[in-house]
């Protein structure tokens, strides 16, 4: 099992934005929440989504996360966040991994996805993880390279740190969340709201790809989807702050596509291949949300 500990800073030491602070983290017991832990129902994150389920959670995201650069209750009305689905050509993903592998002389073992914004468009920024020899089972973040999907040609490319910093800061500055049904929008709180999610390769991304890649898939892609679920903090693992009631959280789900065609089924996959035709979540939120 991969430990959820990173031994390196996410950004160079000169970066002190409140957007991104990566700390040592682990799995800790969380204190009891009122509504979240009482009653017969306990909300939990889903691991797999069918095509219709993924579509439904994407709608929930758009209903509860909005673009509002003027701030809460200021200026124009909030707008819908656009481009909430990002498609990465698999060959570009492999090429980026080679860049990291060459630099650290170790295999890539995970992908780290930062939440960013470019105007009203969701703009994920990607980094990669590799094994940490000093801490058995842990992963380290390769901090010297940042990648994005270029809007002009759809290719995964390196970007300079200054661009990455702006996208990430703009997410916190311009996105508002409607935390509960009927509530007013509020600003993103980096101590409570997810602002990145990472997925390990051996037991997640590789399994998803292997289950859905066959001879008919000529243009494989990893698709990153913005979704939302109403969750208690206890279901998010390692969060810094508690909330008494379940709130809508920004999460990500991954699926495989063949070009522009998502490889998604309308019914849940069954044993032995649970990843076939599915979208996948349960990526790690710590870091950056660490107790």
DSSP state of 233: G
Please write down the long-range contacts of 209-212, taking CB distance under 8 Å and 24 or more positions apart: 209/90, 209/256, 210/275, 211/269, 211/273, 211/274, 211/275, 211/276, 211/278, 212/255, 212/256, 212/263, 212/275, 212/276, 212/277
Average pLDDT per 10 consecutive residues for the chain, totaling 291 residues: 41 35 30 46 76 97 96 84 98 97 95 98 97 83 96 97 98 96 91 92 91 95 96 58 76 97 94 91 80 52
Distance CA 139, CA 213 (A): 27
User: Which tokens go with 53?
Assistant: 């389920």
* pLDDT, tens only, 4-19: 444 334 444 333 333 3
In 3D space, the residue among 274, 264, 227, 214 whose CA is nearest the CA of residue 115 turns out to be: 227
* pLDDT, tens only, 122-145: 999 999 999 998 777 789 999 999
In this prediction the pTM is 0.85
Q: What does the domain layout of the chain look like in residue ranges? A: 34-70+79-280
């Amino acid at each position: 099992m991969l430990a959820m500990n990173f031994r390196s800073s996410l950004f160079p030491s000169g970066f002190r934005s409140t957007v991104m602070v990566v700390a040592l983290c682990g799995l800790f017991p969380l204190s009891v929440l009122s509504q979240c832990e009482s009653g017969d129902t306990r909300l939990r994150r889903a691991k797999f989504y069918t095509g219709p389920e993924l579509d439904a959670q994407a709608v929930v995201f758009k209903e509860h996360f909005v673009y509002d650069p003027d701030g809460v209750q200021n200026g124009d009305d909030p707008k819908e966040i656009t481009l909430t689905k990002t498609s990465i050509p698999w060959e570009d993903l492999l090429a980026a991994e080679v860049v990291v592998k060459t630099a650290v002389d170790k295999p890539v073992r995970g992908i780290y996805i930062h939440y960013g914004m470019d105007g009203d468009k969701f703009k994920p920024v990607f980094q990669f993880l590799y094994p940490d020899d000093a801490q058995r089972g842990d992963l380290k973040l390769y901090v010297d390279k940042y990648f994005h999907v270029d809007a002009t040609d759809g290719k995964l490319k390196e970007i300079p740190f200054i661009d990455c910093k702006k996208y990430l800061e703009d997410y916190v500055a311009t996105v508002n969340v409607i935390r509960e049904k009927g509530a007013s929008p509020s600003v993103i709180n980096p101590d409570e709201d997810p602002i990145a999610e990472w997925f390990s390769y051996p037991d997640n991304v590789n399994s998803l790809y292997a289950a859905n890649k066959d001879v008919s898939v000529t243009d494989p892609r990893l698709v990153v989807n913005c979704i939302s679920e109403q969750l208690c903090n206890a279901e998010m693992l390692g969060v810094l702050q508690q909330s008494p009631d379940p709130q809508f959280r920004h999460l990500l789900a991954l699926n495989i596509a063949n070009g522009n065609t998502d490889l998604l089924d309308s019914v849940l996959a069954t044993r032995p291949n649970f990843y076939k035709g599915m979208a996948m979540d349960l990526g790690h939120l710590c870091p950056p949300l660490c107790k």
